Structure 1
Amino acid sequence: MGYIAGLIFGLGLAVSGMTDPARVLGFLDVAGAWDPTLMFVLGGAVVTNFIGYRLVLRRPHPLLGERFQLPTRTDLDGRLIGGAALFGIGWGLSGYCPGPAFASLGGLTLPLLAMLVAMVVGWFLARAISARG
């Protein structure tokens, strides 16, 4: 089911044009040629998720599982804030976040490849740092 959900997510990104880094960078350019498209895509995702969670969590258990696996932590720590900051910086510099980056693999370009390599290296670095301390 996770694979199917990922395919639907990638299809939604492609249909909405969110695999185009210029569109994302246009959204971040509030002082220039601002493109509000991303705001509408994010708003649609928030509304869909809000309704979907309420409908699904009425069930006693998932269709293909024994129990729901929901996050339990509610605290903010340095790792979370640092990771969010790095995510935002990388997104702003490249115009890609992980979902659209993977959805764009069919049209691989040098900037996309650089972003994907940096992301994978970051995963391994985060794991190594986490294991040390």
Structure 2
Amino acid sequence: MKQVFALLSGLVFGIGLIVSGMADPAKVLNFLDVFGTWDPSLAFVMGGAIAVTAPGFALLFRSRQTPYFDSTFRVPTRNDLEPKLLTGAAIFGVGWGLGGFCPGPALTALPLAASGTLILVPFMLGGMWIARHTPDLTPKTKEGTA
């Protein structure tokens, strides 16, 4: 049942990306081009997503002790900024700005044969693999955190 709801959630997310225009790299690049052909419509998409998600999470955490399909909520607890996080965020931002895609819309646009996805997706997956298999070089304290 967990996989069925994961599939349904992914389909709803993908349909939302297509309907909102986030699967169109030209629209995303126009949103990022503040001093050129700026298109602010994606700000409304993000605002709408936050307006729906924030109350949903608040209600969920208030009404349930555990998620429906897991034993515990997996909420990030770290609040520090480390070089690996900042480097990854910078690479992600540059890639998004150059390609017009972030991972979700890139995968959504792949079956639509959007230009660039046949190059972007394999490199994105390769980057994810490299990130997962790169040793963490940050010094550790006795508690296991930097």
| TM-score, normalized by the shorter chain, greater than 0.5 | yes
| Matching residue within 102, 118, 136 for 1:97 | 102
Which deviations, in whole Å up to 9, do the C-alpha atoms of 1:8-37 show, x marking residues without a partner? 111110111110000000001111111001
- The correspondence of residues 39-118 of structure 1 with structure 2, limited to 5 A, is 39-58=43-62, 59-109=64-114, 111-118=116-123
- What is the identity, as a one-letter code, of the residue corresponding to 1:112? T
Which deviations, in whole Å up to 9, do the C-alpha atoms of 1:50-105 show, x marking residues without a partner? 11110100112222222211111111101111111111100000001110011112
- What is the identity, as a one-letter code, of the residue corresponding to 1:33? T
Q: What is the root-mean-square deviation of aligned Cα atoms in Å?
A: 1.7
- Which residue number in structure 2 is paired with residue 19 of structure 1? 23
Task: Calculate percent identity across the aligned residue pairs.
Answer: 47
Q: How many positions carry a matched residue from both structures?
A: 133
Larger Rg: 2
- What is the identity, as a one-letter code, of the residue corresponding to 2:53? N
Please, which runs of 5 or more residues in structure 2 have no aligned partner? 139-146
Alignment partners' CA distance in 1, 2:72 and 2:9:
18
Please, which runs of 5 or more residues in structure 1 have no aligned partner? none
Higher helix share: 1
Alignment partners' CA distance in 2, 1:27 and 1:110:
18
Alignment partners' CA distance in 2, 1:97 and 1:125:
17
Alignment partners' CA distance in 2, 1:67 and 1:131:
26
- Which residue number in structure 2 is paired with residue 2 of structure 1? 6
Q: Runs of 4 or more off by more than 6 Å in structure 1?
A: none
